[in-house]
Amino acid sequence: MNDHRRQATRLESIVGQYDFWLASAVAALISVGVVMVASSSIAMASTPFYYLTRHVLFVGLGLGLAWAAMRMELKTIEKYNRLLLIGCVLLLLLVFVPGLGVKVNGARRWINLLVTRFQTVEAVKVLYIVWLASYLVRFRDEVNATWPAMLKPLGVAVLLIALLLAQPDFGSSTLLLGITAGMLVLGGVNLPRMSMPVLVALPGLVALVVFEPYRMRRVTSFLDPWADQLGSGYQLSNALMAIGRGQWTGVGLGSSVQKLNYLPEAHTDFIFSVIGEELGFAGVCAVIGLYALLVGRACYIGYRCVEMRRHFAGYIAFGIALWIGMQAFVSVGVNLGMLPTKGLTLPLISSGGSSVLMTCAAMGLLLRVSYELSRAERQVALLRGEAAPPPADGSKPSPSPAPAAPVAAAAATTRGSSRLTSRIEPTFERIG
């Protein structure tokens, strides 16, 4: 009995490690963002460093949120899954409350926090991913086998999208729909069954574009921005000129011409064009490579979590990877003229308080997933009688006690078998 207690105590004392490559990609993107916001916005305000100071402030607050997320156990977050969904709906309704909601350029997407404005959909993205991850865990078998279990998250997505379209925010609506579809596929939904609602919804999405004049203008200007260079194609044509000037190595950091009041939203939606102009093809490839590293590492962490039957953590990692990957793809595609103009920022790089805050929080949550995965792998290694990796703090690990006879026998019989069939789930129940 004492051996079992010592074993349980030893398991509880094991700590994990935050993923180095993931943390490095996040730190590099944030650093690029600070530099490029400073470069792209210095000529935009009466105070040269106004936007830089604001961006650095929100980065600092975002890192605080990330630190809080990194310290929170995922099982604690999972307990409040239903409250997360209620929070999503309430946040999207707050923008319609008189005196609280703020209307900018014809869109009501922000709430007034006195000292600043907050775009509620940025928080909704994080909360919705966590809720959908918990739903896929609770109804994993039903989602693949029954219509109601598959249609429920789609119905929730339709409700949230309806609230977004009322603001209106077509870009975030499309992103939310893509995250939902991607997570359902990764959660094991039956693909033929999944394709039917998509085919039904597709004509409606096309109608939203065709019958809304400003959206239709964006599509036509995207197809040929030079036809109305000073009108509907003004943003895209200037973005393409900025990228074209950059050539292979760029004109030099701080030397962009297009940012001098020619390129609208140079520090937010079109910051990638300034990167292309100042850093050239080499800088563009470096930024895209950092996003590929971040998204690829997040997908790998999610795969390892699912492999160890930690499905909630795995689905969170998949959801965040889909979010960052799709939003970065759309933002880059808009700047390169590959996609119609959308109001989506470049994650971790563009200036924008709400986006920076919630993306940093999501990165903290993703790092927490990597920490708990590392901790679980060490616990499993201890249960199997293997040498656990060194602790995250760099201290010398204490000798591992010999595994109890049943655990040692299980480990002996499973060695050599596939990773999927040799999983051992640690338990922390007190014995005796």
In the chain, % of residues over pLDDT 90? 48
Show the DSSP H helices in 2-119 as ranges.
2-13, 20-41, 50-70, 74-79, 81-94
User: The domain containing residue 287 runs over which residues?
Assistant: 17-376
Secondary structure (3-state) at 365: helix
Rg (CA), the chain: 24
Is residue 66 domain-resident?
yes
| DSSP summary character for residue 116 | S
Tokens of 110: 């922000």
pLDDT tens for each residue of 61-78: 999 999 999 999 999 999
Residue 142 pLDDT > 60, yes or no?
yes
Residue 386, pLDDT score: 58
- Residues 102, 107, 108, 109, Cα dihedral to 10°: -100
Structure tokens at 397: 């690990």
Strands of the sheet with 101-104, listed across from one edge: 101-104, 107-112, 117-119
pLDDT at 262: 85
Residue 425 lies in a domain: no
Neighbours of 78 (CB within 10 A): 17
Q: 43-47, 289-293, 343-347: which range is least confident on average?
A: 43-47
Q: Is residue 2 part of a domain?
A: no
Measured in degrees and rounded to the nearest 5, phi and psi for residue 119 equal: -90, 110
Provide the 10 A C-beta neighbour count for residue 123: 18
Number of neighbouring beta carbons within 10 Å of residue 297: 22
pTM of the model as a whole: 0.85
Q: Please indicate, yes or no, if residue 394 is contained in any of the structural domains.
A: no
Domain contains 1: no
Q: Which of 103, 299, 84 has its CA nearest to residue 307?
A: 299
The per-residue pLDDT for 26 is 97
Residues paired with residue 111 on neighbouring β-strands, in sequence order = 101, 118
Residue type, 175: L
Q: Above 80 in pLDDT, residue 31?
A: yes
Q: What is the pLDDT of residues 311-354, one digit of tens each?
A: 999 999 999 999 999 999 999 999 998 888 777 899 999 988 89
Looking at the predicted structure, is the pLDDT value of residue 48 above 80? no
Task: Say if CB 344 and CB 330 are below 8 A apart.
Answer: yes
| DSSP for 191-260, written as a single string | HHHHHHHHHHHHHHHHHHHHTSHHHHHHHHHHH-GGGGTTTTTHHHHHHHHHHHHHTTT-S-TT--STTT
pLDDT at site 416: 39
Cis ω before 168 (30° cut-off from 0): yes
Q: How confident is the prediction for the chain on average, in pLDDT?
A: 83
287 Cα distance to chain centroid: 16
Asked if 344 contacts 334 with a C-beta cutoff of 8 angstroms, the reply is: yes
- Higher-confidence position of 146 and 322: 322
Decide: 175 and 344 in contact? Cβ < 8 Å: yes
| 403 in any annotated domain | no
* Separation in Å, CA 324 to CA 59, 122, 219, 285, 295: 17, 12, 24, 17, 7
> CA torsion, points 69, 71, 76, 78, in degrees to nearest 10?
40
Residue type, 91: L
Question: How far are the Cα atoms of 326, 379, 398, 424, 429 from residue 9, in angstroms, in the given order?
Answer: 43, 11, 13, 18, 10
- What's residue 4's pLDDT? 57
pLDDT at 73: 92
| Domain presence at residue 9 | no
3-state secondary structure of 109: strand
Q: Facing residues of 108 across strands?
A: 103
Q: What are phi and psi of 132, to 5 degrees?
A: -65, -35
Burial of residue 426 (number of CB atoms within 10 Å: 0-12, 13-18, 19+): middle
Assigned domain for 76 exists:
yes
Strand partners, 117: 112
Higher pLDDT, 417 or 344: 344
Q: What does the pLDDT read at residue 419?
A: 37
Helix axes 50-70, 20-41, angle to 10 degrees: 160
**Range 120-126 average pLDDT:** 94
Best CA proximity match to 295, nearest among 29, 7, 10, 16: 29
pLDDT of the residue at 171? 86
Q: What's the structural domain count of the chain?
A: 1
**Helices 311-335 and 353-383, axial angle in degrees (round to 10):** 140
Least confidently predicted of 46-60, 174-188, 382-396: 382-396
Take residue 232 and report the two structure tokens written for it: 């509907």
Beta bridge partners of 118: 111
Q: From 25, 4, 16, 14, select the one nearest 298 (Cα to Cα).
A: 25
pLDDT at 423: 39
| pLDDT of 399 strictly over 70 | no
